[in-house]
Amino acid sequence: MRIYHSLFTVSKFRTVFDFGEREVAHWFPGHMAKGLKQMRASLRKVDCIIEIHDARIPFSGRNPLFQESLDVRPHLLILNKMDLADTSGKQRILNQLKREGVRNVLYTDCLRQRDDNVKKIVPLVTDLIEGGPRFHREEEGQYCLMVIGVPNVGKSSLINALRRMNLKKGKASRVGGEPGITKAVLTKIQVSERPVMHLLDTPGVLPPKIESVETGMKLALCGTILDHLVGEDVIADYLLFSLNRLERFGYVERYDLGEPSDDIQHVLKRIALKLGKTQRVKAITGVGDVTITVPNYTAAAYDFIRAFRKGELGKVMLD
């Protein structure tokens, strides 16, 4: 990959992103918070909470709403999608998390067939549970875990990876439901024999905590908020801003741009032309109608965002 002169970075790129008058209040649809109450009820039956979040945003958007339940039980933070994250500053992140009281952290890639860190989860969780008092549940002799996190961070993928690795069979055997647990979290999946450990097979979906427009934009970039609520055009612009800020210039060659640019209209136009995403529109002129070809900016924005989410524009750390 070509190295672009850092002078370019200093002189031509925006140093701050103009978020305008955007309102984040509607970026998380209210109905998604509905599950929280249900989740709180089932948390009482849980010995360890596995919170999963996107490794590209270890701080942004994590929801502390369940924290009161955490006081009495161990908590493991899984930073997933590590294959998409720039983990060179891992120690800084672990230190900051520690200062915030988050001590148990594992990085995972749940799509990898055999991820060594996914393998570490059951032994680590066992240590955590056995190292602390199990209020109310001392008599049961079985451990129950719950996976929680904001949308699209890989909760289901983690559950599948745990099943794949620990059950050594394609499909998990289901164990009977318990009265008093809502239907949505009725099913438990065994993930370990010694000690007997179950996982509630329906993960808890938390609404992301969107404390600022920038947090919202990072969450959107990682696919945690529905794109259309934020707007693909502004997500694409924030992506361009972020790639330039992080000096991830893979997009320049991918889309034959020649040199980095900070102008999203210019970049999207080049993407559209490169990918053949153009539209023919009729224009009325003084001498009659003519058909002209114009770039499809929306389709180009989609491609740009999708390429980023697949890791094709390089690994990043957005926090």
Ligand X SMILES: Nc1nc2c(ncn2[C@@H]2O[C@H](COP(=O)(O)OP(=O)(O)OP(=O)(O)O)[C@@H](O)[C@H]2O)c(=O)[nH]1
Q: Which residues are annotated as a binding site?
A: 80-83, 152-157, 204
Q: Which is nearer to ligand X, 206 or 267 (CB)?
A: 206
Q: Which is nearer to ligand X, 145 or 264 (CB)?
A: 145
Sign of the torsion formed by the C-alpha atoms of 211, 207, 82 and 303: negative
The answer to whether 265 touches 237, Cβ cutoff 8 Å, is no
Rounded Cα distance between 309 and 210, Å, is 20
Q: Indicate the annotated binding residues for GTP.
A: 80-83, 152-157, 204
Question: Encoding tokens for residue 295?
Answer: 């770039």
Distances (CA, A) of 91 to 23, 222, 246, 319: 34, 22, 18, 13
Residue nearest to ligand X as judged by C-beta position: 154
- Residue 258 beta carbon to ligand X: minimum distance, rounded to whole angstroms: 29
Which residues of the shown chain bind ligand X in the complex (CB under 6 A)?
80-81, 83-84, 109-111, 149, 151-157, 203, 205
Q: Which is nearer to ligand X, 157 or 166 (CB)?
A: 157
- Residue 30 beta carbon to ligand X: minimum distance, rounded to whole angstroms: 16
Q: Which is nearer to ligand X, 147 or 267 (CB)?
A: 147
Question: Encoding tokens for residue 298?
Answer: 């929306």
- Residue 164 beta carbon to ligand X: minimum distance, rounded to whole angstroms: 13
DSSP 138: T
Question: Could you tell me the end-to-end alpha-carbon distance of the chain, in angstroms, rounded to an integer?
Answer: 25
Rounded Cα distance between 297 and 268, Å, is 6
- Residue 236 beta carbon to ligand X: minimum distance, rounded to whole angstroms: 19
